[in-house]
Amino acid sequence: MKNYQKIKINPKGWLKDQLLIQLKGLSGNLDKVWPDVKDSAWIGGEREGWERLPYWLDGVIPLAYLLDDKDLKARVQKYIKVICEKQSNDGWICPCEIDNIKNYDLWALFLIGKVFTVYLEHEYDKAVYSALYKAMFWLYQNLKDGTIKLLEWAKERWYECLIPLKYLYETKKEDWIIELVGILKKQGRDFFSIKNDWVRPLNKWEWTTHVVNLSMMIKYEPLYKFFTGEKLNGDAHKLYDFVTKYNGTAVGAFTGDECLGGIANNRGTELCSVVELMYSAEVLFNLTGDFSWVDLLEKLAFNALPATISDDMWTHQYVQQVNQIACQKFPGKSFFGTNNEEAHLFGLEPHFGCCTSNFSQGWPKFIENVCVKSRHEIVFAMPLPFEATTVINGKTVDLSVKTNYPFENTVNYTVSSKTANKFKVVIRVPKNAYGYILNGEKKTGKKIVIDKVFVGEENIAIEFLFNAKLVSRPCNLKVLEYGSLVFSLPLKADYKMHEYTRDGVERKFPYCDYELSTKDDFNYGFCGNDFTVERDTGDKYPFSSKNPRIKIKAKMAKVKWDLADGYETVANYKPVSNKAISEKEEKTLIPYGSAKLRMTEMPIIKN
């Protein structure tokens, strides 16, 4: 089992642009405009005092420190300080009266422990460490003597508590931590026992099919076995593959609106599940060294994440659809299994507010895993632009990567060491690359390993080689991929803005709600495999919906394709026929992450 350390990343190029957009958008301003954060019970207010403030902090802490933004860092430190000051002497920290603790759902305690851990990784503070230690020891004492037990969300998400416990154990190898891990597993959900619930959508709310629970669940085995030292059985792959077989999407996520929705391309995928699956992939890679989790991470980050958030990151959807021809409020019964009629609108908190605070972790945590290290090894996990300075074998090493990947394929790595230093550099080759050109020589392989004495400046120039290709999906449909990017046929969106106040929460520009509609036809299929890749400079938004940085030209034609039965704004999950009903024409496909209205899974045309 691996246990990679993070390297302090200084993002450059489009990565930094994306973080600055997030800083200027809803994430960087949520505590100014949203009552559930600015008036949270965690800091003495009267609004929600369970997961929303911790969720927000979990994402904006790395955002603040990656950008070294003084204002956001100061605000984060203020919230952390107040939460710590409110902790009871016995260690209890959540905003719940002591008389109600027996029936309290401890998920909030796990989450604030995770937040403290994220904070300590960026800004060590004795008071915060003490608060984390006391909170986890309180949990141990009270679970052990039976005063409390895992209920509801805590039972489903017991493994999330292993994140702060791992941090504590790496600093203090105390026996009670191992004992607490065992108690949590014993009281928590056994996931293999509920697999049959994932085979078909139930269209009812169940703990066992909740898509966010399952997106978090994937990482449980290596986290648990970090403490026990047992050999891994590959549970993460087994569980991910099983859920995906019956509920997978073209962009690596699971359908879940809000519980598993099956394999149909018109079912929703909750934004929380996207960022939590990303986080699971990050943890899995860091604990196993398995590059397949980085392949998944890229697919989610370059497709599912930007697709469901507006270009300026002021609004988001609760659920996205792979084939999404409109985002309009359903006038009658919601199309989604367990979500309301506005869950796919772009807005401040469509359907429910968990994603409003939780989506903030997506980009920052992703960027922090671009490059990691072990004792004698540096691993360039993703070919993305950054600079960093780290220490290997007690000596300083400078790192730099210059690239516009995934919009372009060339990458220039620089490794600099002023004094002779023997270590290994590992560069991951993206899954869909059929080869690469290294310093002018064509090669193949899943990774590039350079094991040598580094001294001075070492430059490594790579061009990854990709083909635009059609990948099979259910119902005899195809999806177009190029590298880690999935491509969609965009439908021109007309935006209808709604400003209003509901339940004391104001929606006003730029954090108002939007309905999206189109006059474009959606009923297309591919006429063969002849594709032309084109690139552009784009605009200030890396995944711009108006000026994408990469496009693919394709020959396409119309087919007969009906709307979903009973709905005027949802395409059926498959066409009536794949026979052409129009002449062939050239269409331009753009990245899935850029296309807010889109058709992604489409047939190959007969005739």
- Domain membership of residue 363 (yes or no) is no
Q: What is the mean pLDDT of residues 356-375?
A: 97
147 exposure class (CB count in 10 Å sphere: 0-12, 13-18, 19+)? exposed
pLDDT in tens, 397-433: 999 999 999 999 999 999 999 999 999 999 999 999 9
CA distance 535 to 588: 12
Whether 429 and 539 share a structural domain: no
- Domain membership of residue 110 (yes or no) is no
Whether 446 and 473 share a structural domain: no
Let me know: does 466 contact 552? Beta carbons within 8 Å: no
For Cα atoms 597, 467, 541, give the angle at the middle one, nearest 5 degrees.
Answer: 40
- Domain membership of residue 72 (yes or no) is no
CA distance 535 to 311: 19
CA distance 604 to 470: 9
- Domain membership of residue 387 (yes or no) is yes
Whether 592 and 524 share a structural domain: yes
Task: Domain of residue 381: give its range.
Answer: 372-403+410-465
Last residue of a domain, one of 465, 496, 511: 465
- Domain membership of residue 445 (yes or no) is yes
- Domain membership of residue 588 (yes or no) is yes
Tally of structural domains, the chain: 2
Give percent above pLDDT 70 in the chain: 100
Measure Cα distances from 75 to 72, 78, 82 in Å.
5, 5, 11
Q: What is the mean pLDDT of residues 473-482?
A: 98
Give percent above pLDDT 90 in the chain: 97
Residue 97 confidence class, pLDDT cut points 50, 70, 90: confident
482 exposure class (CB count in 10 Å sphere: 0-12, 13-18, 19+)? buried
Whether 473 and 438 share a structural domain: no
CATH number of the domain bearing residue 421: 2.60.40
Q: Given this model, what pLDDT does residue 607 score?
A: 72
Residue 1, pLDDT above cutoff 90: no
pLDDT in tens, 202-245: 889 999 999 999 999 999 999 999 999 999 999 999 999 999 99
Last residue of a domain, one of 465, 481, 498: 465
- Domain membership of residue 484 (yes or no) is yes
